[in-house]
């Protein structure tokens, strides 16, 4: 009995275990029992039990019994005398009959059981000639289909016929099956509602044997060269009606849609059919069951192995369903994830992942063209497109780098969005995509072409971030940039972030030269304001400062004072912090100027102590000065700047002394109060998050502040009541009881305003304290790494 229970289990491994127990019991019985009649009786009982089990209401039980029955029929064991195939079929026909059944559900189960038994028998003999078996079971399958009125069971029988067609092979199908099922195949889209014709059966067989269902077949039966998928409006309406008829049987709708898609791709009809399918399956949203089918079909199209031209498929889908892919990208945004079902999110993600995987193996021209089409679908949410962008850039070759950079810069300069905010988001994403070139496996700064490319990208970003082009473009960028590029302040901030990202990449490679050369070019642009108008502050002061000090600073960077230092890491640390200070001139001139002035003295003192072995009379040693500079830079909001500082710090750790460490500890232990200069430490931000996630994070921080400052509203109320004095409304007093003249109200206005300013100041102080705590924790991480 245990074996039969195991045969009906949902786990395939347990069903296999039950089958093995059943066979083993038969062998033991035939070996121990010399009475052939008794042994045969037990075999008949088992077969009869399995046949009767095919009418079970449990799908797993029907599958387990059918598989076991088919396997028994195929056994060639000398110890077991199995019935022949004809005897099995006769037994199934006798045991599974609807003549004695009165219930509709019982009749359904009997028919399902008979179909399953036939499939099981055919499966065990699929490697042999199936002609005899097919001649016995195909007529019965067609008879069952005629007797059945429910579409689901008819389609189940159609699926069984399709499976038999696969196992039989093309020749046997054409000879033994096709003539018998010809009446089931429709000859036009006007099929009626009686279910006697099956478009699902036809389209599946067409995809299975295209050489049989060829142009000649369709000319004979459909009066056309192919099965037309929506060439005319009438055809489109009929196809929609056909799809709608499966609304209550979604798994059949998905199977039919998938077969139609495969045929549309193979016959180059996706342009006409895809919009029909999208319109029908997305009409009630992507969170619906039909919407899930559509998302799953997109993934299916991207991974279709038989698809000879996946680029055509992807391009057609993007061109003719821009709105759909825009919804998918919105659904995957941080705001979309809050309002959509998890199933929709996962299916959308799978589709984009499969798209990225498919694009990764195509030529660069195809990758870029399809990337641009997907980019057009996005409205404002680009975070989820990073997977596709990475797939395009990660396998770039050295020869492909210039073409990739030129194409992305062209997209950046194109004004594709009327809304400025949407354009800023698009350009921010494209800048991130541009910087991906440094992450490519083939990108190596030791290769001259890669170094030149990095220098050109960095110079271009410096130019656009800090200068306005006045109908003039530097000669080296004329193939990339138009004469005028209109950029918002937000985009210039993004460009500044990319500048530091590129500098960080070079610094990680223990280089600094390309960043330095890019800065030298920017000095030339400051000298020609007619062509390049500076957008940064203190432009004249910077120009004058560099005119007086650039020669000394450049000599310091590349001269003997640093080159003669005994440690290569220390030399590189000085060179990198000087270059970083150069770029700070555009951001905070006074602070950067102080950095550079201190670094001149710092390098000289380091040289005197480490090379000349002289004692320095300075109050602070060179390492303390350098640490102080790095700590000041470490307060900046850009994650990449802090990463640069951290890298430089690790290079000078061997030279840390007690006073330098105390200087860092002072940062940890200092009280949370305002700086003397009124400057506040910027809070830590994660640049890898998209702007939607930053807004979400901001909201969370606001909530935290409200929790920490739970009595803020009460304090404000008390402050306002104090300002109002006797004019304040008491708890037991109605508002109408308070009577104030205009003069009294004018006297109270400044007091009320001061109460609100005081409360706002408290809230601002909390934010400053929070930002300083973040900085202190980061410094603590540095100390722990010593």
Give the pLDDT confidence of 465-515 residue by residue, as tens digits. 999 998 889 988 988 888 778 899 999 999 999 999 999 999 999 999 999
Between CA 266 and CA 301 the distance in angstroms is 12
Number of domains in the chain: 3
pLDDT mean over 704-716: 48
Greater pLDDT, 47 or 763: 47
Asked if residue 577 and residue 512 are part of one domain, the reply reads: no
Q: Report which of residues 705 and 310 the model is more confident about.
A: 310
719 within some domain: yes
Of the given ranges (7-11, 314-318, 731-735), which has the lowest mean pLDDT? 731-735
Whether the predicted pLDDT of 72 surpasses 60 = yes
Which among 667, 678, 620, 640 is positioned nearest to 777, based on CA atoms? Answer: 667
- φ and ψ at 533, to 5 degrees? -90, 125
Tell me: do 516 and 603 sit in the same domain. Answer: no
Report if residue 436 sits inside a domain.
yes
| Residues in contact with 666: Cβ distance below 8 Å, sequence separation at least 6, in sequence order | none
Higher pLDDT, 552 or 674: 552
Least confident residue range of 651-660, 691-700, 774-783: 691-700
Give the tens place of pLDDT for each residue, 265-274: 999 999 999 9
Q: Are residues 750 and 652 in the same domain?
A: no
Which pLDDT band holds residue 742 (cuts at 50, 70, 90)?
low
Q: What was the pLDDT predicted at 93?
A: 76
Higher-confidence residue of 593 and 231: namely: 593
Residues 617 and 582 in one domain: yes
**Distance, CA of 455 to CA of 515 (rounded, Å):** 7
Handedness of CA 392, 394, 398, 401 (dihedral sign): positive
For 312, phi then psi, to 5°, come to -60, -45
DSSP string, 644-666: HHHHHHHHHGGG--HHHHHHHHH
**Burial tier of 233 (Cβ tally within 10 Å: 0-12, 13-18, 19+):** exposed
Mean pLDDT of 140-159: 88
Whether residue 677 lies inside any domain: the answer is no
The parent domain of residue 633 ranges over 538-669
In a domain, 477, yes or no: yes
Q: What is the DSSP pairing of strand 532-534 with strand 467-469?
A: antiparallel
How many C-beta atoms lie closer than 10 Å to residue 219's C-beta? 12
Residues in CB range of 350: below 8 A, 6 or more apart: 295, 299
Mark which of 514, 535, 556 sits at the end of a domain: 535
Q: Is residue 503 part of a domain?
A: yes
Judgement on whether residues 653 and 719 belong to the same structural domain of the protein: no
On the question of pLDDT at 703 being above 50, the answer is no
Q: Is residue 253 part of a domain?
A: no
Instruction: Report the mean per-residue pLDDT for the chain.
Output: 83
Same domain, 408 and 524: yes
Q: If you search the block for the tokens 């496996």, which residue do you land on?
A: 441
Shared domain check, 480 and 428: yes
Q: How far apart are CA 69 and CA 51, in angstroms?
A: 7
Torsion of Cα atoms, 519 then 521 then 526 then 531, to 10°: -140
Q: Is residue 209 part of a domain?
A: no
Distance CA 665, CA 661 (A): 6
Task: Answer yes or no: do 546 and 516 share one domain.
Answer: no
Pair of tokens at residue 436: 């991906």
Which among 485, 648, 512 has a CA at the least distance from the CA of 583?
512
**Structure token digits, residue 44:** 């008949």
Q: What is the pLDDT of residue 674?
A: 43
Q: Coil, strand or helix: which one is 534?
A: strand
757 and 637 in a common domain? no
Q: 252-266, 583-597, 730-744: lowest mean pLDDT where? A: 730-744
- Most distant CA atoms of the chain, gap in Å: 121
Both tokens of residue 52? 């009767």
Are residue 438 and residue 508 in the same domain, yes or no? yes
Domain termination residue (choose one: 637, 669, 701) = 669
Domain final residue, candidates 504, 535, 566 = 535
In a domain, 13, yes or no: no
524 and 553 assigned to the same domain: no
Q: Residue 467 forms beta bridges with which residues?
A: 534
> Cα dist. 580→375, 502, 623 in Å?
34, 12, 18
In this predicted model, what pLDDT tens digit does every residue of 284-295 receive, in sequence order? 999 999 999 999
Contact 51, 95 (CB under 8 A): yes
Say if residue 415 is in the same domain as residue 531: yes
């Amino acid at each position: 009995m245990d074996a039969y229970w195991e045969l009906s289990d949902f786990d395939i491994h347990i069903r296999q275990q039950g089958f093995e127990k059943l066979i083993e019991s038969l062998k033991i019985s035939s070996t121990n029992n010399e009475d052939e009649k008794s042994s045969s009786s037990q075999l008949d009982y088992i077969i009869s039990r399995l046949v009767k089990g095919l009418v079970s209401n449990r799908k797993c039980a029907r599958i387990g019994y059918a598989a076991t029955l088919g396997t028994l029929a195929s056994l060639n064991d000398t110890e077991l005398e199995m019935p022949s195939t004809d005897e099995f079929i006769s037994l199934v026909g006798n045991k599974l009959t609807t003549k004695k059944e009165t219930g509709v559900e019982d009749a359904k189960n009997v028919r399902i059981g008979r179909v399953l038994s036939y499939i099981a028998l055919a499966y065990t003999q699929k490697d042999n000639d199936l002609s005899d078996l097919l001649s016995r079971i195909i007529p019965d399958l067609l008879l069952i289909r005629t007797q059945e009125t429910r579409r689901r069971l008819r389609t189940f029988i159609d699926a069984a016929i399709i499976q038999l067609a696969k196992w039989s092979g093309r020749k046997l199908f054409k000879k033994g099956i096709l003539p018998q099922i010809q009446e089931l195949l429709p000859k036009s889209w006007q099929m009626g509602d009686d279910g006697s014709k099956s478009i699902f059966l036809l389209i599946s067989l067409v995809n299975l044997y295209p050489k049989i269902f060829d142009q000649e077949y369709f000319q004979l039966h459909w009066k056309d060269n192919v099965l037309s998928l929506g060439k005319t409006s009438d055809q489109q309406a009929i196809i929609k009606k056909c799809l709608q008829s499966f609304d209550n049987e979604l798994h059949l709708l998905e199977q039919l849609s998938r077969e139609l898609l495969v045929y549309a791709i193979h016959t180059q009809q996706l342009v006409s059919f895809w919009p029909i399918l999208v319109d029908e399956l997305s009409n009630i949203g992507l969170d619906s069951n039909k919407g899930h089918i559509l998302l799953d079909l997109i993934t299916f199209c991207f991974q279709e192995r038989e698809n000879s031209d996946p680029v055509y498929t992807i391009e057609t889908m993007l061109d003719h369903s821009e709105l759909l892919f825009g919804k998918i990208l919105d659904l995957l945004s941080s705001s979309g994830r809050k309002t959509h079902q998890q199933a929709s999110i996962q299916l959308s993600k799978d589709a984009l992942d499969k798209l990225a995987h498919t694009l990764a193996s195509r030529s660069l021209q195809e990758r870029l063209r399809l990337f641009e089409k997907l980019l057009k679908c996005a409205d404002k949410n680009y975070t989820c497109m990073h997977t596709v962008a990475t797939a395009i850039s990660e396998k770039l070759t050295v020869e492909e780098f210039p073409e990739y950079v030129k194409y992305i810069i062209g997209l950046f300069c194109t004004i594709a969005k009327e809304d400025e905010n949407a354009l800023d988001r698009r350009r921010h994403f494209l800048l991130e995509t541009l910087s991906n070139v440094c992450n490519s496996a083939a990108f190596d700064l030791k290769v001259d072409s890669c170094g030149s490319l990095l220098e050109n990208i960095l110079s271009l970003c410096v130019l656009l971030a800090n200068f306005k082009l006045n109908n003039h473009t530097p000669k080296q960028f004329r193939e990339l940039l138009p004469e005028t590029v209109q950029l918002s302040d937000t985009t210039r901030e993004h460009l500044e972030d990319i500048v530091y990202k590129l500098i960080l990449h070079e610094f990680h490679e223990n280089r600094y030269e390309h960043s330095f050369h890019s800065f030298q070019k920017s000095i030339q642009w400051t000298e020609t304001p007619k062509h390049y108008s500076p957008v940064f502050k203190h432009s004249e002061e910077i120009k004058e400062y560099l005119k007086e000090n650039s020669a000394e600073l450049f000599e310091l960077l590349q001269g003997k004072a640093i080159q003669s230092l005994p440690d290569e890491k220390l030399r590189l640390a000085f060179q990198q912090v000087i270059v970083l200070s150069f770029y700070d001139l555009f951001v905070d001139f006074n602070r950067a100027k102080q950095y550079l002035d201190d670094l001149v003295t710092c390098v000289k003192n380091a040289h005197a102590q480490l090379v000349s072995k002289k004692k320095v009379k300075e109050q602070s040693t060179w390492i303390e000065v350098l640490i102080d500079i790095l700590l000041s830079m470490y307060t900046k909001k850009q994650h990449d700047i802090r990463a640069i500082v951290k890298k430089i710090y690790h290079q000078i750790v061997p030279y840390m002394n007690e006073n330098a460490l105390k200087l860092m500890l002072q940062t940890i232990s200092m009280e949370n109060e305002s700086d003397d200069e009124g400057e506040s430490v910027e809070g830590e931000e994660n640049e890898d998050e998209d702007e939607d996630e930053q807004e979400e994070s901001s909201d969370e921080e606001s909530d935290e502040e409200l929790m920490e400052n739970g009595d803020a509203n009460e304090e404000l109320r008390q402050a306002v009541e104090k300002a109002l004095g006797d004019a304040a409304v008491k708890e037991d007093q109605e508002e109408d009881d308070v009577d104030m003249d205009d003069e009294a109200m004018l006297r109270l206005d400044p007091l009320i305003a001061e109460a609100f300013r005081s409360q706002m100041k408290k809230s601002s102080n909390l934010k400053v304290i929070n930002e300083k705590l973040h900085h202190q924790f980061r410094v603590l991480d540095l100390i722990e790494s010593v």
